[in-house]
Amino acid sequence: MRIPPESLRFLSELDAATLYEASGLQGMVDPQIRPMWPGARICGVAMTVSCPSRDNLMLHHAVAQAKPGVVLVANAERCQSAGAWGEVLTVAAQARGITGLVLDGAVRDIEAIAVHSFPVFARGLAIGACKKEKFGKLDEPVDLGGVTVRSGDVVVGTADGLVVLAQESVEVVLQTAIARRDREQEIFRQLATGKTTVEILGLPRLRVEEQANE
């Protein structure tokens, strides 16, 4: 299933929290997997990668085989003692048209990666080195911070965190998210007139408020 470029553009303008709520509270990735440099944002179609701990051979193969526009989504067994991705892979990925990396593991060379403006979300930073010996898997479902990701799913990452949208649900989630955003704009308008969030959202009132209104 191909995600229309126009849909990806609209998704990129929305925050991860709005999309998570619009999806029916599905697809929230472990908050420990976060942007590795300020301002990093990701929105794209996933290509999945499985890597053995402390070995990044499959990330090199993934970069070599990736189609332009994908986001690499890799499970490195949550290893935080070795950086499975650095500046060399970043430059290689950009040359192939890869738009970002989400890694359940650690990366390094983050200052250089930020200079290249390559968005990376990961579990942490580590200067430890990886071997390049063991094969893993490409384009098979992976666990990313408690969420199963398949190649073709959409991954959106903002400062608040990451959400995974199953490819078959993208259009419905997008329309729901746009409606939520529009509703928020109306709430902001009403707040500017002096109304409270308790009034606007119809929240349960404190008993003292109920008595004062009697």
> Average pLDDT, stretch 193-202?
96
Cα distance between residue 157 and residue 100, in whole Å: 10
Rounded-to-integer distance, Cα 26 and Cα 59, Å? 27
pLDDT tens digits for range 27-41: 999 999 999 999 999
Paired tokens of 44: 């794209």
State the average pLDDT over residues 165-169: 96
Domains with residue ranges and CATH for the chain: 5-169 (3.50.30.40), 174-213 (no CATH)
Any bridge partners for residue 158, and if so which? 161
85-118 pLDDT per residue, tens: 999 999 999 999 999 999 999 999 999 999 999 9
**pLDDT at residue 48 tops 90:** yes
Buried b (16+ CB within 10 A) or exposed e, 14-46: bbbbbbbbbbeebbbbbeebbbbeeebebbbbb
